[in-house]
Copies of this chain bind each other. A is one copy, B any other.
Amino acid sequence: MNQNEAMTRDHEILSVREDIVEQTTVQVCIEDTITITLNGIPVTTLKITPVDLESFAVGFLICEGLVSDPGCISAIDVRPTLISVTAEECTLEGSLPSLEIRSAGVGIGRRQELSSPALGDGFTVDKKILFEGTRQVHETATVWRSTGGTHCTILVDNRGHILSAAEDIGRHTSVDKAVGKALLSGIDPGHSFMVCTGRLPGDMVAKAYRAGIPIVVSNNAPFSSGISLAERMNMTLVGFARPPRMSIYTHPERILL
């Protein structure tokens, strides 16, 4: 594949390795939101890497059982946010609404255009506490250790105390549960940083924003959409937090380096 340019953009980060802090440029994944229609009927809207969209359309319709034979597809029209497929000779398996069952995120799209104000300054955390949080998330993830299949989210205060923790097959639902547990215990998530496993697209960052959490830390990669949202909402985004390293993508001023 020689399509890296269409799939990524550059972003300036602060790269931290123990006591060495350097500014550097990394590549981050970009996503598009597209809708696919079959014979004029909207089938789904999803986030996708914006390459190979014709192949995606063919594979999606076969793999979801919506078209029984690729030979039935008579036309594929790919536009930036819409793929229209014509396959009038083919039958659909089941009805369309059940397609809407999801395994993961709720998505961002229009809802990412949050009109609410950015989060305030004030909450800061020492680099050592933050690194300790990335160790704590693995200690907490007991089901992950026995299955390798879950994500884990913890909320940690700036003295390093875990306020809330949850494991779930979904990274999004692990965030929901950790935030819900804190709220049901009368704890304000706004006075914590969030450490989660898994990648950080905009919908993950939007969840933290709405819970008022100013710092989001992951052991994994953020996406372009997550970085943009964090920049705009005055949130600190840390990716690839794997002691002794981490990458600070936005608003490093909350981390005492």
Where the two chains meet, the residues of A that have a C-beta atom closer than 8 Å to any C-beta of B are 1, 3-4, 7-8, 26-29, 31, 33, 44-49, 52, 54-60, 62-65, 70, 93-94, 98-111, 114, 140, 142-143, 146-150, 165-170, 173, 175-181, 183-184, 199, 201, 203, 206-208, 210-211, 220-223, 240
Choose one: B63, B143, B223; the contact of A1 (CB below 8 Å). Answer: B143
Quick check: A7 and B143 within 8 Å, CB to CB? yes
A100 proximity list for chain B (CB < 8 A): 45, 100, 107
Quick check: A44 and B110 within 8 Å, CB to CB? no
A183 proximity list for chain B (CB < 8 A): 58-59, 62, 70
Choose one: B29, B99, B206; the contact of A149 (CB below 8 Å). Answer: B29
Quick check: A102 and B45 within 8 Å, CB to CB? yes
Query: Measured between C-beta atoms, what is the minimum distance from A186 to chain B in Å?
Result: 10
A149 touching B199 in the complex, CB below 8 Å, given contacts A49-B167, A107-B102, A168-B49 = yes
Quick check: A180 and B52 within 8 Å, CB to CB? yes
Quick check: B7 and A54 within 8 Å, CB to CB? no
Quick check: B221 and A29 within 8 Å, CB to CB? no
A221 touching B176 in the complex, CB below 8 Å, given contacts A99-B107, A142-B4, A166-B52 = no
